Amino acid sequence: MQSTDLYIRPDLGQGARRLPLQALLLAAGLVALAAAPFLLYPVFVMKLLCFALFASAFNLLLGYVGLLSFGHAAFFGGAAYVTAHSVKVWGIDPVAGIALGTLAAAVMGAAMGAIAIRRQGIYFAMTTLALSQMIYFLFLRAPFTNAEDGIQNVPRGHAFGLIDLSQTLNMYGLVVAVFLVGMFAIWRVINSPYGQVLKALRENETRAVSLGYRADRYKLGAFVFSAAIAGLAGATKALVFQIATLTDVAWQMSGEVILMSLLGGVGTLAGPSVGAGLIVTIQNYFATTGFPVNVVLGLLFILCVLCFRSGIVGELAKRARR
């Protein structure tokens, strides 16, 4: 089937056959998560997991609702600021800090979504980009963000007052837990009746509306949820790196998360994580060479759009189905 859309249509009726494979992959993934901190640099793996969750949250919107948000950095970075500030200045529990950051992202998502969903397609993308730029300037000016310096030296503290997060493995455990909770929530939403309605909106909004679904409410709900999960990822990243800066709210970050989804496979559950892994690795590699990584990311964008629009996981899934 020649599809010109941004997402791969679900292959109904084949789920049963693929289930053992999925279970196998899931098990392999869990084993890899358990082994990773001993094989790789743990902070790198934690960064990767945060971005994987961020990209998955973004993908929920693009892949399952068909909305391209160019402003997701606002939620990622905004939550990072809130968590960093609440943990460092107010001295609250790091887990509560993450929850607060997530909540803040959801609130921002509600405000931004309420305005942005009034336009569709290309205008939606431009509107979210403009609104996130506004949020960027607000954070640049806000008294608690320290402008260019950001919030530095955020203490990781003790989770629930007990677990010392300055121990790398403890922090790693928390990040894995956050990642799994986030991914499970996304998976649960996609496979719920609510998720089915979202897909119906993506496929044919007019028809879904004529069937009595209030498109705007469903879209706003998905937007807020996606923003919250993006915030969860950003809040966790703030604790991992103990810093929240303008980089996380800048539009470049919104572009990166789009590329992660696109590269891995829009509309696939695992794709964004694969894409995030690749991009984070590439960024780490080029950070040492002095060659601007943006050129590489730009070329990847061009390559993805022109040559493989289904992304890595999408292409693999297509091959497996043949």
Q: Which residues bind another protein (CB under 8 A)?
A: 4-6, 68, 115-116, 118-123, 125-127, 129-131, 133-134, 137-138, 140-141, 251, 255, 258, 262, 291-295, 297-302, 304-306, 309
If the CB atoms of residues 135 and 185 are measured against another protein, the closer one turns out to be: 135
Q: Which is nearer to another protein, 99 or 282 (CB)?
A: 282
Nearer to another protein, 46 or 125 (CB): 125
Q: Please give the radius of gyration of the chain, using alpha carbons only, rounded to the nearest integer.
A: 19
Q: How far is the CB of 224 from another protein (least distance, A)?
A: 17
Nearest to 131 by CA among 75, 84, 82: 75
What is residue 201's three-state secondary structure?
Answer: helix
Beta bridge partners of 244: 151
Helices (H) and strands (E) in the chain, counts: 13, 2
Distance in Å, CB of 296 to another protein, minimum: 8
Q: Least distance to another protein from the beta carbon of 59, Å?
A: 14
Nearer to another protein, 46 or 250 (CB): 250
Which of 178, 258 has the CB closer to another protein? 258
Shortest distance, position 317 Cβ to another protein, whole Å = 20
Q: Residue 144: which residues within 8 A CB-CB, separation 6 or more? A: 81, 85, 89, 151
Minimum distance from CB of 129 to another protein (Å)?
6
* Residue 108 CB partners (closer than 8 Å, separation 6+): 74, 75, 78, 135, 227, 231
Torsion of CA 105, 111, 117, 118, to 10 degrees: -170
